């Protein structure tokens, strides 16, 4: 007689004005019905009554009842992606000792019917990894490389700034995983520096040992920091190659507020792990890169808005203005 599989998987989804996407994602998870699914947590960071009501209605879905427990958490203040996850996971681990793995999924992730079962099976084949992920694919089903990140180095930052990474796409010293997919195609799983936080499975004991995300990262780079600390403790993040999913990657990457948030997190990462001097070197690399690109794009009618944002960012970076107030305050408070 086959042994009943233990329900030990906690899935956590953070909503920020994406209740419809949360509904679609939760329905796809329940349709796949992974045997190890214990509970789905949906935490609302929108601080919006309509969003919260839409999420609570999910608990009434016929598909939810009898198949899994769906819990909705409502935050009264948006303290960031990492802080939202830390709070609910800490609460869950304190009250339920059966949780063995935690899966973080963004609402705009589109799973294939077998993505979750393949992920759980793949993780069982390399249990010492501690952290696992899948492969992001584009509309045509081809890997797009946004499922994992390389450890930031001065050489990689400089290569991005002067576009060398596009000239030498397979060079591991300067390129990212988007440009080296061919080398991994025939592997069951392979090591990466960091798994994307949009679809990240982590061992619960490792999560507790790391104390979760560093909440100074409001958004972006928190998973790179998590994986960096995990590797120092002996973890070896793995991509399970036959786990495929799509990720819409949110709004435009050229939105000024998001670009500033991204740079804040990158500079915080550099200062935290590499010190103040290297942080300022990277800051100047970014400033000059955005200045040159902004000037070039400004002569292209279709790129003028993007060019304006790049020039504004360059100005802030060069003058150490506005952008670093949040960074410096966070480091002082810590």
Domain end (from 247, 280, 302) = 247
In a domain, 296, yes or no: yes
Residues 186 and 290 in one domain: no
Residues 261 and 222 in one domain: no
Residues 227 and 262 in one domain: no
Residues 329 and 226 in one domain: no
Residues 239 and 260 in one domain: no
Q: How far is CA 290 from the centre of its chain?
A: 24
Q: Which of 113, 98, 87 is nearest to 242 (CA)?
A: 113
Q: Which of 82, 199, 190 is nearest to 146 (CA)?
A: 199
* 28-42, 121-135, 171-185, 287-301: least confident range: 171-185
pLDDT digits (tens, 9 = 90+) for 206-234: 999 999 999 999 999 999 999 999 999 99
pLDDT digits (tens, 9 = 90+) for 122-160: 999 999 999 999 999 988 888 888 899 999 999 888 888
pLDDT digits (tens, 9 = 90+) for 96-120: 999 999 999 999 999 999 999 999 9
Count: domains in the chain: 2
Residues 224 and 321 in one domain: no
Residues 114 and 224 in one domain: yes
Domain end (from 209, 226, 247) = 247
In a domain, 232, yes or no: yes
Burial per residue of 80-111, b for 16 or more beta-carbon CB atoms within 10 angstroms, e otherwise: bbbbbbbbbbeebbeeeeebebbbbbbbbbeb
Q: Report the C-alpha dihedral over residues 33, 39, 44, 45, rounded to 10 degrees.
A: -100
Give the CATH number, domain containing residue 26.
Answer: 3.90.550.60
Domain end (from 212, 247, 282) = 247
Residues 38 and 134 in one domain: yes
In a domain, 4, yes or no: no
pLDDT digits (tens, 9 = 90+) for 159-188: 888 876 655 555 555 566 665 566 667 788
Residues 91 and 55 in one domain: yes
Residues 23 and 98 in one domain: yes
pLDDT digits (tens, 9 = 90+) for 46-84: 999 999 999 988 887 756 666 668 999 999 999 999 999
Domain limits at 311?
Answer: 256-333
């Amino acid at each position: 007689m086959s042994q009943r599989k233990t329900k030990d998987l906690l899935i956590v989804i953070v909503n920020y004005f994406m209740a419809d996407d949360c509904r679609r994602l939760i329905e796809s998870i329940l349709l796949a019905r992974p045997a190890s699914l214990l509970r789905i947590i949906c935490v609302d960071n929108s601080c919006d009554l309509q969003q919260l009501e839409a999420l609570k209605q999910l608990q009434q879905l016929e598909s939810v009842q009898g198949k899994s427990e769906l819990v909705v958490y409502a935050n009264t203040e948006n303290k960031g992606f990492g802080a939202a996850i830390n709070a609910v996971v800490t609460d869950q681990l304190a009250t339920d000792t059966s949780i063995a793995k935690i899966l973080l999924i963004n609402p705009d992730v589109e799973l294939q019917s077998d993505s979750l079962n393949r992920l759980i099976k793949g993780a069982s084949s390399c249990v010492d990894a501690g952290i696992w992920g899948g492969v992001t694919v584009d509309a045509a089903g081809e890997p797009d490389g946004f499922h994992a990140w390389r450890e930031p180095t001065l050489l990689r930052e400089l290569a991005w700034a002067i576009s060398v990474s596009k000239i030498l796409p397979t060079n591991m010293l300067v390129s990212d995983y988007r440009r080296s997919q061919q080398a991994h195609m025939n592997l069951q799983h392979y090591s990466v520096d960091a798994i994307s936080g949009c679809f990240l499975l982590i061992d619960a004991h490792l999560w507790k040992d790391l104390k979760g995300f560093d909440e100074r990262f409001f958004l972006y780079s928190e998973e790179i920091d998590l994986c960096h600390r995990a590797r120092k403790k002996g973890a070896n993040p793995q991509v399970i190659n036959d786990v495929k999913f799509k990720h819409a990657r949110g709004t435009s990457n050229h939105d000024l507020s998001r670009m500033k948030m991204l740079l804040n997190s990158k500079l915080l990462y550099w200062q935290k792990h590499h010190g103040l001097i290297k942080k300022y070197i990277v800051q100047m690399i970014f400033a000059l890169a955005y200045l040159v690109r902004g000037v070039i794009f400004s002569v292209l009618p279709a790129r003028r808005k993007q060019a304006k944002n790049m020039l504004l960012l360059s100005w802030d970076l060069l003058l150490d203005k506005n952008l670093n107030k949040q960074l410096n305050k966070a480091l002082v408070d810590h």
